[in-house]
Every structure is written in C-alpha cells, then in structure tokens.
Amino acid sequence: MARETAQTMAATERASAPPDGTARTLRTRLAGVADLFAWPLRVSHYLELVNPLWSSHLLRARVERVCDETHDARTLILRPGRGWRGHRAGQFVAVTVPIDGTRHVRTYSISSAPEHDRTSECIAITVKAVPGGRVSNHLARDLVPGAYVTLGVAQGEFVLPESRPVRPLFITAGSGVTPVMGMLRSLAARGALPDIVHIHYAPSARDVIFADELARLAQDHPRYRLHLVYTRGAGGEQSPSHHFSPQELDALCPDWQGRDGYACGPRGLLAALEEHWSGNGLARRLLVERFQAALADAPPDATGGRVRFAASGIEVDADGATCLLRVAEASGLNPAHGCRMGICHSCTATLVAGCVRDVRDNRLTSDPGTRVQICVSAAAGNCELEL
Amino acid sequence: MTRNKPLAGLDPAALEEFGRELDVIRDEILDDRGERDRRYILRVIRVQRTLAFAARLVMYASLAFHPWFGFAWASWPAFLSVLLLGTVGLGLAKILENMELGHNILHAQWDWMRDPEIQSNTWEWDLVCPADQWRHSHNVVHHMWTNVMGKDRDVGYGMLRVTSRQRWSAFYAMQPLSFVVMATFFEWFIAVHDLEISRILAGKRSWPEARPMLKRVGWKVGRQVLKDYVLWPALAGPFFFWILAANALANIMRNLWTFTIIFCGHFPDGVHHFSKRDIRRETRGYWYARQLLGSCNIAGGKLFHIMTGHLSHQIEHHLFPDLPSHRYPEIAPRVQEIAARYGLPYNTGSLRRQFGTTIGKVLRFALPGPSPVTA
C-alpha cells in the first residue's frame, strides 16, 4: 500500500536521531566525542562504507528476499540496520529508493507481524505495481536481493488497541489488505484470534494478495470469517454492483454496528464506508487508512492555481506565469533568495504537494519532497510549498 | 557594450542565438542525468572517505618508526617518509573533499538526486569557511557578477590587483608577498572574505553588521581547529606535535592546490573584465558571453580534472554552474566549437601557461599603470 505524503520525508531523513529530551547516556556522549574526530561528517559516515546497515545517520535496510504474491504484487523482505525501533501491526514505513539517480519516497504498510520481526530481524512490505507508477514498478519488478533502501521510522495510527479486546471488521480492497495482514499475522502469532469478519475486494481471484495465507487462516481459525468479493465479472467488465453496498454489508456481517471497523483501500471505497458509518452515527467506530495524495498530479497544460505556503499558512491564487518567489513576496512573505534567475539555488523550497513548472524549460515537477527553485518556478495547478 | 572587443562585433540577435545554442546543451545534460551520475558521485565520496581514513592510519603507523622506540627499523628517514606518505594522502583526500565534493555539491549540482546526504543546503565541508556563508559569496555574488568591476568581489579577492582597471595604490606594491601568504593560508582568506573587512576598515561597513558572520566563522574555526590540531594529535600522545604538524601540512597542501587552480580560473592572460555599464539590461545571451570571456580552462587528463573539482573546466562551470561536474569534459568540445563559430575566444592552456601568466600579472600590476584599455 503506497501513500504519497511529503510529511513523511522528514521522518525518513535522520530517522534514528535520538528524540529531544532523551537522557544522554554514556554511549551517546562517547559517540558525540567520536563524531568530533569525523567532523564535518560523523563516524557513521565511515561505518557505512564497511556495512550500510551499521550507519546511524540514516536507517538503511537490505533486501533479503523477494517473493511474488500475485502477477503484479511482490513482497520484499527487508533487514533494517541499526536504529530500527520496531513497529506495531498495521503501521507503515517510508521507503526511499533511487531510480535513475533520483531518490523517491513512498510509504508502505508493513505486512509482517511485529512478533516475527524480533525473531527474524526482518520486516516485510508488499508492493503492488500500479500501472504507470514509477516507484511501485521499480520496487515490485526491478529491486533484487542485496539492494539497499532507506527506511523511515514506523508510524501511523491504524493499529489495534492494546488495552482492550476487539471484535474487528476488516474491510480491505486491493493492496489495502497489507496493513490488515500485519494485524492478522500478529493476532495469530499471539495464538488468540478474536472474532473477526474480513471483507476483501479484488478484481478477480488471481488478484488476491495473500490468497493462500488468508484461506489457511480461515480454515484453521473458525472465528476468522473471510469474504472475498470479486469486482470484475467473468468477462472482465467492471460492475458497480460488485462494489461496496450497505445491503451487501448487512448480508455479510449483520452485526457490523457492534464491531470495530478497520478499512483500507482506494479513495472511493473509503468515502462510501465513511458515509455509511457516519450516516448511522458510528463515525468513531471506523478507522480508515488512506493511500492517495491530497492533491492529484496536475495535467501538463495546467495554468496556475491555488498556492499554499504551508509553514506560514497563507493561501493565494497564482497564474501559471508568475514565479512563486514573486507570488510569495506579493503575499507578504520574505523568502531567502539570491540571483532570482535560477543560478544560485538560495531560494529552493520543498514542494509539499501539487505541481510546479520550471519557467525556463517548462519542466513539470510534482513529486512531493522535491526542492524547487522558486525564483524560476510557477504554479502548474494547485500546489503547496514548505515556506 | 562596446568596451569589450570580442562582443562589439556581434549583433544582439547573434548573441541571443549563441545563448540558445548553449541552452540546448544545458537541457540535454539535464535530461540525461541519471544512475550513471549518481554512481559517479557516490564513488568519489567512497574513495575520498576511505583515503582520508587510511591516510590518518598511515600517519599513526609512522610513529612506530620513530627513533624514540629504538626498534631495529626505527630511524628518522623511515619515520619521516611514512609520516609524509600519510600527510600527502590526507592532503589529497582534503583536496577531493574541497573541490570535487564540497564546491560542486554546494553549487547544487547534485540536488536533483534528492539525497538528503548530498544537498547544497545541508552539506558542510572540511574548511574553516562555513559552507552556507561561502554559498552566498560564491554562488550569488561571484557567479552572478563574474568579472564585473565593483560587483564581483573575487576580482583579486580584495587583496590583489589583477587588471589595470583596478586603481593602483601603495598597498598593491607588496602583492608578490601577499600572493604567497594567501596561497599558503587560502582557506582562512576565504573564511574572512565575506566579512568585507576592507570595507569595514574604509568605514563603509560597521563591525556590528559583520558580527553574526564573524560568530559563525568563529564556530566553524573552532570545530576545524579542534579536529585537526587538538583531537587527532592528542591521540598520538607524546607525538602530539608530529601529528599536528602533519595535519597542518595536509591543510597547506590543499590550500596551495586549490589556490593555484582557482587563480587559473579568472586571472590568466586574455581574460576579460566588464564594467557595470556593460551589463545594464544584460540579456541571457550576453550573460553567457560574459561568463565565457571571464573564465579560463586548464588542459589536463581525467585524474587532473577530478582533482581540480573540474574547475579546470571553469568556462563550462561558469556557463552551467549547476550541471554535475563530471559532465563538463563531455560538453567542452561543443562549447568550444560554438564559441569559435561566433568568433568568441575560448581561453584554455596548460597549467604552466595559465598559472604563469597569473603570476606575471600579479608582478606587473604590483606597479602602477598601465592606463586601462578602453577600446
């Protein structure tokens, strides 16, 4: 399952820097002194030359194994290096890989159980190759064992409560099954599977990720009831009648109102579920995990749009020709800048979402987290900058 | 515009066409950047760090040959030659770190990789000059106003008279000496360059204005001194001063080399200077032409280019300051061909020629005159 938020970038970088306020132990003090010898680098920069997993300035992970789940989904078994602090079932992690020299960040749900991480010292993510998706295709098709990726820390609130028993209703679609798989594996590893209903949507039987394992779970644990719903007919046509409907929910899980809802899937499904739950006054009993960007990629012929400066909370309309530096200045900001002609890179700002156009060559940039030169970039549709 | 001969003969339309041809090269390289470039810079980083660490180890290994130990193999020649080997290794590592890594990364040549470890806004280098400060004085002031009198503070670095357009004063009489001192302690001159001390002394700038910068330089100097002149020497115990001296020598070696290469960039014979009047309403084409006329290349082999941080391709670097440095040799023949087609000079020569004429200028302009050429 992939998300596209720029906020997770910050978490990826300097992943294992100790959080503020932690007591400085003798060990961190010694490491601090050792770093003075390596200045302006850190000892970790030299350790990673020997083994990337030893670095502490960045959290690296080695691809240990890959295994195909379906024709377009693949599980990557990753061995995180020093500094990995574990995860809770259902959480996601930011994964950074270079493609054609440029690093790309996407977040993926961890599909392995925390209980297994401890014994195998590995975690698993499952990536579905999205048509046209650069990163997902790279991860699901090109990455080979032995390659290294950069990891963020595990994060996310899509987790089971630890302090009380649950009666979950899982509703998943496509690769949305991955965080729920992590939960199921975790519950199974603890030996006590509670009363679970799981409704999973997939285009057809051959698209069901973890099909065998889910079937086995259902066989071994009578309290786990799995309903697979295929949204594509035998002829391959999409049929709306096979998508989520309240009638179907009542049929598959009559006691849904008394259960804790956990849903993960495409935007349309989640919107329908939220509407249904809140329509019944049960909005708080449904926890959803989204994996689509707040702003869609702008089309290449976009002309201007709404510009949001995230750090200062200012929002203005901009045309597609005025450089964002001037837009920022016109709205009262005073961003750092230098040459105002794209030479010196003093003005670069991080693109949070949306799309900008380099006025010099019409190159469009829409990857969140990219640092753009605002003196030579104009809005191409809506965009948000870290300014 | 008429003050510069090579440009006087070009009509504005041709000048813009010249600029467009250079833009084509720039776009081509931008499109072509990829895995090959990433592999290159990662390799340079790996080599540089390995060399730096290995060189420090060799320096400590040399202590085993110190006559004080009284071993059979211990002797002054053995000790000093191994220590020197380590020193040269460290000097080379520092050169690579300063030129091919620091200079180019701070130019944002590798920002496109979006690697948080190789970004212009976070990189810090092994020099007493704070990287962020240098980024301003170099990328903004020098690269934008290259060789414009009264704008580009790198013309003579406020210390030297390198063109007849600078008015002579008695201060310049000692410039053969300043030249040598500056070469030896170059990193320190770069560190204080931005403070504009000459303007403070002239009363055009106040000390409080320079204070924040001075503080930051102080912080950086502290870190550098602590590392090279306190911590590493202290590891050697009784041989403290040997390691200190070796580290100082490695830094001086780096200073001399970077000084030599950098001074070949804009001072050799045949380089052009501009007045503020020349650049009124400057177009993109004119800007390109000014960069070409104001910069000089040094001929050499592949390893030489790497050790200069590809500043041996100063012309290409000034035309395209944010293209990955190792691409400069690739595009140099095309730039040279375009320049020739437009009748513009392309100043290149051996290190001996370029540095020799630079020294010649430093000696000549220590004395008054000649009157500036105005045609």
- Give DSSP secondary structure letters for B331-344: HHHHHHHHHHHTT-
Say which residue the tokens 């990753």 belong to.
Answer: A78
Q: Pull the structure tokens for residue B175.
A: 């410039």
Chain-chain contact of B135 with A346 (C-beta, under 8 angstroms): yes
Distance from CA of A243 to the nearest CA of B (A): 40
CA B202/CA B224 separation, integer angstroms: 30
If you average pLDDT over every residue of chain B, what do you get? 92
- Among candidates B48, B41, B45, which has minimal Cα distance to A101? B41
Name A316's bridge partners: A307
Chain-chain contact of B30 with A361 (C-beta, under 8 angstroms): yes
pLDDT (average), residues B299-327: 97
Chain-chain contact of A101 with B27 (C-beta, under 8 angstroms): no
Of A193 and B363, more confident = B363
Chain-chain contact of A13 with B116 (C-beta, under 8 angstroms): yes
pLDDT (average), residues B141-161: 89
Percent of all residues in chain B with a pLDDT value above 90, rounded to a whole number: 76
Nearest chain B residue to A348, by CA: B121
Q: Pull the structure tokens for residue B298.
A: 């040094």
pLDDT of residue A155: 86
Distance from CA of B371 to the nearest CA of A (A): 33
CA A202/CA A269 separation, integer angstroms: 12
β-pairing verdict for A196-202 and A224-230: parallel
Chain-chain contact of A36 with B115 (C-beta, under 8 angstroms): no
Half-sphere exposure at residue A172, Cβ-oriented, CA atoms within 13 angstroms? 27
Chain-chain contact of B140 with A102 (C-beta, under 8 angstroms): no
- Among candidates A87, A91, A110, A115, which has minimal Cα distance to A191? A115
Chain-chain contact of A58 with B117 (C-beta, under 8 angstroms): yes
pLDDT of residue B351: 97
- Among candidates A84, A87, A32, A9, which has minimal Cα distance to A54? A84
CA distances from B295 to A92, B2, B186, B258 (A): 52, 19, 20, 16
pLDDT of residue A299: 47
CA distances from B308 to A39, B94, B164, B261, B318 (A): 23, 12, 28, 7, 15
pLDDT level of residue B225 (50, 70, 90 thresholds): very high
Per-residue tens of pLDDT for chain A, all 387 residues: 444 333 333 333 333 444 444 556 888 889 899 999 999 999 999 999 999 999 999 999 999 999 999 999 999 999 999 889 999 999 999 899 999 998 888 889 999 999 887 778 899 999 999 888 888 999 999 999 999 999 988 988 899 988 878 899 999 999 999 999 999 999 999 887 899 999 999 999 999 999 999 999 999 999 999 999 998 866 656 665 678 899 999 999 999 999 999 999 988 899 899 999 999 999 999 999 887 533 334 445 657 889 999 888 889 999 888 889 989 988 878 787 776 777 778 789 999 989 999 888 788 888 888 889 998 899 988 999 998
Q: How far apart are the first and last CA of chain B?
A: 11
Instruction: Summarize pLDDT for B168-178 with one digit per residue, the tens.
Output: 999 999 999 99
pLDDT level of residue B143 (50, 70, 90 thresholds): very high
Chain A residues whose beta carbon lies within 8 Å of the beta carbon of residue B135: 344, 346
Distance from CA of A326 to the nearest CA of B (A): 18
Nearest CB to B144 within list A104, A339, A363 = A339
Query: pTM to 2 decimals?
Result: 0.85
pLDDT of residue B322: 92
Residue pair B3/B279 in contact by the 8 Å Cβ criterion: no
Residues of A with CB under 8 A from a CB of B: 12-14, 36-37, 39-41, 45-46, 49, 57-58, 98, 100-104, 338-339, 341, 343-346, 348, 361, 363, 369-371
